Structure 1
Amino acid sequence: FSAQTKARADELVANLLAAFGKRIDKLDWMNEATKARAKAKLAGMKVGMGYPDAWIDYSGLQVTAGDALGNSQRAAEFEYQRKIARLGTPVEHVEWDLLPQEVNAMNLPLENRLIFPAAILEAPFFDPNADDAVNYGAIGTVIGHEISHSFDSSGALFDETGRLANWWTPEDFKSFEAACAALAAQYDQYRPFPDAAVNGKLTLGENIADVAGLSTAYDAYILSREGKPPVTLEGMTPDQRFFLGFAQAFRDKARDAALRNSLMTNVHSPGQYRTETVRNLDAWYAAFDVKPGQGRYLPPNKRVHVW
């Protein structure tokens, strides 16, 4: 994980945050006071990219070959004493709950902080040598997804400091809930089996983050081009490559039994339905010339835009 890769990823994050801020500005259902609080939360967001800025010092931990039980006991005691020593000291948001080797990303609402380990900054999500359009469609959507979790059906209940606080006007929150209900109803229609469907309420928070994340990633990609004319590569326009990058990142294959279990227990929609997020973006229809009557076409009034 090179410094060049980290710098490129940091640039992506900066563009995504700027794009999300512009999306807040354009919301027609939110008043200026609530927008100001939303933008304050966005401005206060902390992002960890690749690996922690500071590592835990384990030099005081004794590890002895052939003493598994003793090593375990000493490690537990070491961690206990390390945490006890922090009592009464200022809170520092520097430690990670994910290892750099984990292919994952995390939003910590109590800290208003995002974490992107080095392992997710690899193909198919990210390639520093790849086309910007593909990278924004893949890792850009992941970054946008995690940003959006701070404003989904759960994250929206926390303020810029991570406190559980109501920063909404009643009218704005009703509009937010109406958009959430429309998105839940949309996902309720996806049926991988005749007798089993996606649970729109169970997956709502993730679906909000998927729609807002993809929309924000697209906006950020357009901003990153700085008005430069689009360049067609291998017969595909930049917008087509953007959506291709998104689809490639979320492709998966599951046995029927695993898919049924996921429908009942997983807060994420199955991968094949996460890619259906594109149906809510006007840009996707233009990119692939999707017309009324075609299978994935949604009328403009049915396309859900929460953020």
Structure 2
Amino acid sequence: SLLPIDRGPFVLNAMRAAQFETTRELNKIGKPVDPTDWGMTPPTVNAYYNPNMNEIVFPAGILQPPFFYANADDAVNYGGIGAVIGHEMTHGFDDQGRQFDAAGNLRDWWSPQSAAEFKKRSGAIVQQYSEYEPLPGLHVNGELTQGENIADLGGIKLAYAALQKALDKNPGARAQKIDGLTPEQRFFLSFAAIWKSKQRDEDLKLRLNTDPHSPARYRVDGPLSNLPEFQKAFGIPDGSPMARAADKRVNIW
């Protein structure tokens, strides 16, 4: 192998790995772009949208619980990996992705009317998230997290629509309850489960200032409180924190 790894000091292995990766990247200069080159390693538990290639990538690492269960029913998987797939698709049409055309070129291809309407709607999601206060005196930065919040909302809506199409093809599954839960309830619970986390306040403070993703709690509360489908699934009364008023609900796509 061109990258020697041995049982010597860890720091030396890390330095050789960094040097190897730097050399690999520098060797790309002057050569055609390799469309098969991934920006993540196969075992990485993550996914991404690349606007320059207009592609979405899902490493093998994310195709496991809680995102994907090989033996689970459709509702659980649509709420998990389905929402992630929808999230990455929506990145192509968020505040940054929309600036790239189908060929991956940075180009203004929207009509002025469409751009104005998008900015109006995205402004509403900025306002919604800026009102969240994870720690006393510290709010979510709605501008910084705008793109990810748009993708979270679009992703759950796409996944829910896909689930409904799947249930239309299998009416028996629509009436089936598992553990006393309807398919819609299992879908939303699965979505919430993928964002379970434990975080120190110190780390939360740092990420509120630097991370383009909202804190995990608001990646659940934010999108779901905008969906009348979520309110209906659990019979949530009007005026509840998880059921935003109709005139306050954000709808981008």
What is the RMSD of the two structures over their aligned residues, measured on CA atoms? 2.5
Aligned residue for 2:168, secondary structure, equals coil
**Residues 301/62 of structure 1: CA separation in 2 closer, same or farther (3 Å cut):** closer
Question: Residue 231 of structure 2 aligns with which residue?
Answer: 285
Q: State the structure with bigger RCO (CA 8 A, min sep 6), 1 or 2.
A: 1
The one-letter code matched in structure 2 to 1:177 is K
Distance in 2 separating the partners of 1:293 and 1:77: 54
Q: Structure 2: which amino acid aligns with 1:147?
A: M
Question: Compared with structure 1, are the counterparts of its residues 83 and 304 closer, same or farther at alpha carbon in structure 2 (3 Å cutoff)?
Answer: same
Matching residue of 1:297: 243
In structure 2, do the counterparts of structure 1 residues 240 and 96 end up closer, same or farther at CA, with 3 Å as the change threshold? same
Identity %, equivalent residues: 40
Alpha-carbon deviation of 1:145?
Answer: 0.5
2:78 maps to 1:132:
no
Larger CA deviation: 296-305 vs 65-74 = 65-74
Could you tell me how far apart the structure 2 residues matched to 1:126 and 1:179 are? 32
In structure 1, what is the Cα distance between the partners aligned to 2:126 and 2:151? 13
Query: Distance between the aligned counterparts of 2:248 and 2:54, measured in 1?
Result: 32
1:123 maps to a residue whose letter is P
Equivalent residue number for residue 221 of structure 1: 163
C-alpha displacement of 1:226: 3.3
AA aligned opposite 1:289: G
How far the C-alpha of 1:78 sits from its partner, in A, is 6.9
Partner of 1:190: 132
Please give the residue correspondences for 1:219-298 in structure 2 after superposition, counting only pairs within 5 Å: 219-229=161-171, 230=174, 231-276=176-221, 277-298=223-244
The alpha carbon displacement at 1:77 in A equals 9.3
Structure 2 letter corresponding to 1:269:
S
Q: CA deviation at 1:294?
A: 2.1
Matches within 5 A, 1:1-307: 61=2, 63=4, 75=20, 79=24, 83=28, 87=31, 89=32, 91-229=33-171, 230=174, 231-276=176-221, 277-307=223-253
Per the alignment, do residues 234 and 170 of structure 1 end up closer, same or farther by CA in structure 2, a change over 3 Å counting?
same
Q: Do the aligned partners of 1:62 and 1:74 also contact (CA within 8 Å) in 2?
A: no
Q: How many residues align?
A: 245
Q: 1:63 and 1:164, CA in 2 relative to 1: closer, same or farther beyond 3 A?
A: same
Post-superposition Cα deviations, 1:223-271, rounded to whole Å, max 9, x if no partner, equal 1223422111110000000000000001112111111111111111100
Taking structure 2 as the reference length, the TM-score comes to: 0.89
**CA distance in structure 2 between the aligned counterparts of 1:179 and 1:77, rounded to whole angstroms:** 41
Gap runs ≥5 in structure 1 = 1-57
The one-letter amino acid of 2:248's match is K
Given that 1:188 and 1:198 are in contact with CA atoms closer than 8 Å, whether structure 2 keeps it comes out as: yes
TM-score, length basis structure 1: 0.74
State the Cα deviation string for residues 155-193 of structure 1 (Å, max 9, x = none): 000000000011111111110000000011011111122
